[in-house]
């Protein structure tokens, strides 16, 4: 998703938000600020994911995210409830913060399975290791999902 497409989603989401939400969140961040927050200091950033189980009940997990080559990715253990939920129903919400409570990105969208992290490891390493300070792939097996944003709310205090 190109910067302009990301910016369009941010703008459309803000325009459709109610007055209460706009008052609390304030003016939206730019797409560059969103990407910078997601990739704070390194490629993989932790955040929270909300999915629903087979009974429609919510499930929250702590996962790894990256915005790389105009695409938002998420790493998920193949043994996790989140994995089973996303395979069954692609709907997902996630939040990434700066860890200080002064900035956050809230994304609603769909998750699309891309592959196993070990299958993508060489591609990821060759493309980003030289450019991203402190980058390390997880040692344990992970599945990679592409997140296709439909709504993006931002907060910058």
Q: Set out the domains of the chain in order of their start, with CATH numbers.
A: 3-156 (2.30.110.10)
Compute the average pLDDT of residues 14-35.
95
Assess whether pLDDT exceeds 70 at residue 31.
yes
pLDDT in tens, 140-155: 567 889 999 999 999 9
Long-range contacts of 53-60 (CB under 8 A, 24+ apart): 53/81, 53/84, 53/85, 54/85, 54/88, 59/85
Compute the average pLDDT of residues 45-69.
88
Q: What share of the chain is helix, strand, coil (3-state, %, to 5)?
A: 30, 40, 30
Higher pLDDT, 45 or 90: 90
CB atoms within 10 A of CB 92: 25
**pLDDT-based confidence at 130, cuts 50/70/90?**
low
pLDDT in tens, 93-125: 999 998 888 899 999 999 999 887 766 656 655
CA distances from 64 to 34, 53, 74 (A): 16, 20, 6
């Amino acid at each position: 998703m190109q910067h302009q497409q990301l910016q369009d989603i941010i703008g459309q989401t803000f325009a459709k938000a109610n007055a209460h939400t706009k008052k609390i969140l304030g003016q939206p961040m730019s797409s560059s600020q969103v990407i910078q927050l997601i990739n704070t200091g390194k490629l993989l950033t932790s955040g929270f994911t909300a999915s629903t189980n087979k009974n429609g009940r919510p499930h929250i997990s702590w996962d790894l995210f990256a915005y790389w080559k105009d695409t938002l990715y998420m790493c998920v253990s193949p043994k996790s409830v989140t994995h089973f939920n996303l395979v069954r129903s692609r709907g997902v919400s996630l939040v990434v913060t700066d860890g200080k409570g002064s900035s956050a990105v809230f994304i609603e969208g769909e998750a699309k399975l891309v592959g196993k992290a070990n299958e993508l490891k060489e591609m990821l390493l060759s493309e980003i290791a030289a450019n991203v300070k402190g980058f390390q792939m997880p040692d344990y097996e992970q599945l990679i999902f592409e997140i296709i944003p439909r709504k993006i709310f931002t907060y910058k205090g």
